[in-house]
Structure 1
Amino acid sequence: METIKRRVDQILAFCCILLCGLLTVVVTWQVAARYLLNSPGAQSEELAKIMFVWLTLFSAALLFGEKGHMNIGLLCDSLPVRWNISLQVLTSVLILIFCLAILVVGGWDAVVRTMRQTNAAIPYLSTGQIYLALPICGVFSSFYCIYNIVTDLRRLAGVMSGDRPQQEG
């Protein structure tokens, strides 16, 4: 499972780097067109917005895989190790439910409902194609939730059997 996670990390990191680079090029073109050519393009502005949303969602999924998401650990850190890990498992299960219900199922529903709507600024791009970032991000985040649950359950089993707890990596 660790090998699969590393591969998913690489794919998401590549997508984020690519999107960031393309976003930089598009925004630079937008600024140059506005000030040098006196002709700002609506397409480049809309494309920059879309790429920013995709970059944000993919980056959030990647950060989630590294357990770098925002949390308040005051309560968890004050609990014994086994309760701390149990609370992390519970939290990951709740987040998994959210990812599956809202991002994957709800996102896919939004994609299907808006697939025939064209974007006003970029007519060859449908709104559904833009919304496709939601279920994709949901699948990646769900994978990371499952990975975190399995990892934490293994740690919990080690703690329960008396082994020394491993630190989060």
Structure 2
Amino acid sequence: MAIDNSKNRVVGAARSNDVQRGVTIDAVDRIILDELSRNARIPNNALAAAAGIAPSTCLGRVRSLIDRGVIRGFHAEIDPAALGKDLQAMIAVRVQPGARRHLGQLAEQLNDLDEVLNLYFLAGADDYLIHVATSNTDGLRRFVLQHLSANPAVASTETSLIFEHVRPSPRSENSLSPDAPGR
């Protein structure tokens, strides 16, 4: 697994739809996943202690979770404003019916753009939801005009500005337990 630091993307790791079917996650794996979801920088020996296993066993389990596509990667989340990109938006994109066979190619083109933070392929009325960050409204307008409206595969777009992104608080200890309330 390699990290492309220019876009904070994990390269060579399994994508969400690459998770092996029938992957079994036992109680120890759940503890490891819960701890990593709270703090991906936790030292292996501390992670092993939390899971009640030897550090070498823990390292092997983490590697197995990565290989099986359960853990999709480790990354640093960087505030776009710190990089001069103060304006964030979500852009819903509908593709022309005749262009549907080229959805993968369009996704690759969009994902390579510096403004794109995340790209989601959807079911429903829209085909993609694109999370972008630009320096200002002129940059957002330019992005939409040059990369979406000018693309013959794109039928329509709808842009929503993001005022604030609130992250959920770290999960409780029982959140990954199949016996947790509400499951």
- TM exceeds 0.5? no
Q: TM-score, normalised by structure 2?
A: 0.23
Based on CA coordinates, which of the two structures has the bigger radius of gyration? 1
* TM-score (normalised: structure 1): 0.25
Bigger strand share: 2
Select the structure that is richer in helix.
Answer: 1
